[in-house]
Chain A
Amino acid sequence: GAGVSQSPSNKVTEKGKDVELRCDPISGHTALYWYRQSLGQGLEFLIYFQGNSAPDKSGLPSDRFSAERTGGSVSTLTIQRTQQEDSAVYLCASSARAQETQYFGPGTRLLVL
């Protein structure tokens, strides 16, 4: 079946604008994760959804970041009032269940001018 897909592939925005990034996990996967990879930096965890449980938001860097997962499938990561330091590749991953192998999408490259 299809892997994890993300859209858009690339996004250029102006400082102060809001952006929405979308993730379609592998069908049937109950766990969904968002990570961020900044230039020259490692991958850092942002937020995690598991089934109907409350999400783990411990990695979100500020209250400008939020995410939701509708119907246990598609997820949207929203960044409000974007800043230049938000420029990064935003990666989504899903796994059949928590602690199982995570499969990554191709990422969204965000550039904030």
Chain B
Amino acid sequence: RKEVEQDPGPFNVPEGATVAFNCTYSNSASQSFFWYRQDCRKEPKLLMSVYSSGNEDGRFTAQLNRASQYISLLIRDSKLSDSATYLCVVISYNQGGKLIFGQGTELSVKP
């Protein structure tokens, strides 16, 4: 079993749709959580950190449930420019700060 697992993709949605990505992690020592975005043939870029209290950045909302070891990302009013692969990422402090990536979920927003 992978340490970080995400919904299989791809997600194909129309513009304006709301889309939710789910992610689970297996290492209870995981301490920090992130969503990264990766465009085709580009490097991953940090989208947002994820906190237990939940956090929102414009159309993006991230949630963390430590008890269930579950992370989510909600994108509202999706835009064509949101098309990318979304990577769920955790850091476990007992692993020295290295990022553990999920396999990514591809999102394609259509006109």
Q: Binary interface profile of B, 31-46, with partner A (CB < 8 Å = 1, else 0)?
A: 1101000000011111
User: Which residues from B are CB-within-8-Å of A48?
Assistant: 96-98
Question: Do A43 and B87 touch across chains, with their CB atoms under 8 A apart?
Answer: yes
Interface residues of B in 74-111 (CB under 8 A from A): 87, 91, 93, 96-104
A85 shortest CB reach to chain B, Å: 18
Question: Do B103 and A42 touch across chains, with their CB atoms under 8 A apart?
Answer: yes
- Counting chain B CB atoms within 10 Å of each CB, the highest count among A48, A91, A98, A102 belongs to A102
Question: Do B43 and A99 touch across chains, with their CB atoms under 8 A apart?
Answer: no
The size of the chain B interface, using a CB distance under 8 A, is: 21
- Can you name 13 extra interface pairs (CB under 8 A) apart from A43-B99, A45-B99, A45-B100? A31-B97, A35-B101, A42-B87, A42-B102, A48-B97, A56-B98, A91-B43, A99-B31, A99-B93, A101-B49, A102-B46, A104-B45, A107-B43
Instruction: Name A residues whose Cβ lies closer than 8 Å to a Cβ of B.
Output: 31, 33, 35, 41-45, 48, 50, 56, 59, 91, 93, 95, 98-99, 101-107
Q: How far is the CA of A50 from the CA of B45 in the complex (A)?
A: 21
**Given that A42-B103, A42-B104, A43-B87 are contacting pairs, would A98 and B43 also be in contact in the complex, using a CB cutoff of 8 Å?**
no
Question: Do A99 and B44 touch across chains, with their CB atoms under 8 A apart?
Answer: no
User: Which residues from B are CB-within-8-Å of A93?
Assistant: 99
Interface residues of B in 11-54 (CB under 8 A from A): 31-32, 34, 42-46, 49
Q: How far is the CA of A41 from the CA of B87 in the complex (A)?
A: 12
Instruction: Name B residues whose Cβ lies closer than 8 Å to a Cβ of A.
Output: 31-32, 34, 42-46, 49, 87, 91, 93, 96-104
Interface of A: prevailing SS: strand
Question: Do B98 and A104 touch across chains, with their CB atoms under 8 A apart?
Answer: no
Q: How far is the CA of A50 from the CA of B44 in the complex (A)?
A: 21
B90 shortest CB reach to chain A, Å: 11
User: Which residues from A are CB-within-8-Å of B32?
Assistant: 99
User: Which residues from A are CB-within-8-Å of B102?
Assistant: 42
User: Which residues from A are CB-within-8-Å of B91?
Assistant: 99
